[in-house]
Amino acid sequence: MKEDFYDILGLSKNATEAEIKKAYRKKAIEYHPDKNPGDASAEEKFKKAAEAYEVLSDPDKKSRYDQFGHQAFEGGGGFGGGFGGGGMNMDDIFSQFGDIFGGGGFGGGFSGGGGRQRRVKGSNLRIRVKLTLEEIANGVEKKIKVKRKIQAQGTTYKTCSTCNGSGQMTRITNTILGRMQTSTTCSTCGGAGQAIDHRPADADGQGLKVSEETVTIKIPAGVEDGMQLKVSGKGNEAPGNGVPGDLLVAIEEQDHAELQREGDNLHYDLYISFSEAALGASREIDTVSGKVRIKIEEGVQSGKILRLRGKGIPSINGYGKGDLLVHVNVWTPKTLNKEQRDFFERMAQDDHFKPSPDSKDKSFFEKVKDMFS
């Protein structure tokens, strides 16, 4: 089972943004590879701390993590909150979080100590995927065509002469408080530390070209409308030895013809006739896993709710499945012929047709209370 991000950083769930940053900086310095050369255990802890910080430092990701846990980001096939289950290498971490060490004795900026060159990350791509309720209930694998920038074949790079490959420019200014050193991204190479040496005709100014690629996206069961998943490394590539961006997948839930979703539960309106309500009936209804046949007891009242347990949507947290709530509605005819009218007029004073609710016949408010309990 994956370790809790708050436990990794030694934080409580109500930690502030400043406390999260402080805790990560402490862990990062403690397990930094330059401080623990050759220590695989320290390097693994360093990666875990970076993964936890990547999620908890982002308000949107933190909110989803607090609500759904690791399931909010894990869908298999390359999905992952943070670094996709620890798959990010050390250069990726320094590229993304090097500034957290500022003044900590490890080279500052994005160098990550030890003279590591900054690796620029490519831009993310965003797509929207429409899912039916059946696909959401069962999970689905989608193959999507994506146009992304990749390095053009034949493109070569050389060390940037402006920053000498560091990706940063350092400036020292004399002030009344003493000498102040500031670092900024190199304007020539954009922080990549490399400049184009040779560029083929089909490449842009960064040595990239647009290519169409089919990406397989494994979407876990139980996702919700508006939820965003991530496929690591399937965004635009970066020039030189940069890190590819990510493909962000926004989920759009399509309306179902007969089922309404409420969290993990589903609702179905079943209309029956007076005759079926009085005599009982057997009806076939739709569920997200196929059709099922249900029995309507004789004498059923309009408003009765039948609960089919486990016929709803799987919890994205892995806490089982929701239920299918079947709402029974007795349909009243809007027009009657003479024979039908005569029958109901004769029955108007019959004791069997007079309302006589007992303790088992719950009011509307009691039914609503039971439904949410």
Residue found by looking up tokens 């003044």 in the block: 103
Count CA atoms within 13 Å of residue 59 on its CB side.
3
pTM above 0.75, yes or no: no
Largest CA distance in the chain: 105
Please report the pLDDT score of residue 114 as a whole number.
38
Strand 208-219 to 194-198 pairing: unpaired
Whole-number pLDDT of residue 172:
81
Please report, in tens digits, the pLDDT of each residue of the chain (373 residues total).
678 899 999 999 888 988 998 999 888 888 887 677 778 888 888 888 888 898 898 888 888 888 878 777 664 433 344 444 445 555 556 555 555 544 443 433 333 333 445 567 889 999 999 999 999 999 999 999 999 999 998 888 888 888 888 888 888 877 766 777 777 888 887 777 888 888 888 888 888 999 999 999 999 999 999 999 999 999 999 887 788 999 999 999 999 999 999 999 999 999 999 899 989 999 999 899 889 999 999 989 999 999 999 999 999 887 889 999 999 999 988 899 999 899 888 888 887 777 777 766 555 556 555 555 5
Which residue shows structure tokens 């496929």? 231
Q: Which residues pair with 291 in a beta bridge?
A: 286
CA atoms lying within 13 Å on the CB side of residue 301: 14
| SS3 category, 82 | coil
Angle at 63 between CA 61 and CA 64, to 5 degrees: 65
Position 63 scores a pLDDT of 84
pLDDT of residue 265: 95
Q: Which residues contact 357 (CB under 8 A, 6 or more apart)?
A: none
Record the tokens describing residue 220, joined without a space: 């876990």
- To which CATH superfamily is domain 259-372 assigned? Urease metallochaperone UreE, N-terminal domain (2.60.260.20)
What does DSSP say about strands 247-253 and 125-131: parallel, antiparallel, or unpaired? parallel
pLDDT for 362 equals: 57
Helices (H) and strands (E) in the chain, counts: 9, 15
Closest CA to 68 of 234, 255, 253, 263: 263
Q: What is the DSSP string of 22-34?
A: HHHHHHHHHT-TT
H-helix or E-strand spanning residue 50: helix 40-56
For 52, list phi and psi in degrees, rounded to 5: -65, -40
Q: Is 352 left (phi over 0), alpha (psi -120 to 50) or beta?
A: alpha
Domain boundaries, the chain: 1-73+87-116, 156-198, 259-372
pLDDT value for 102 = 46
1-73+87-116 falls under which CATH superfamily?
A: DnaJ domain (1.10.287.110)
Whether 1-73+87-116 shares its CATH topology with 259-372 is answered no
Q: Are 363 and 355 in contact (CB under 8 A)?
A: no
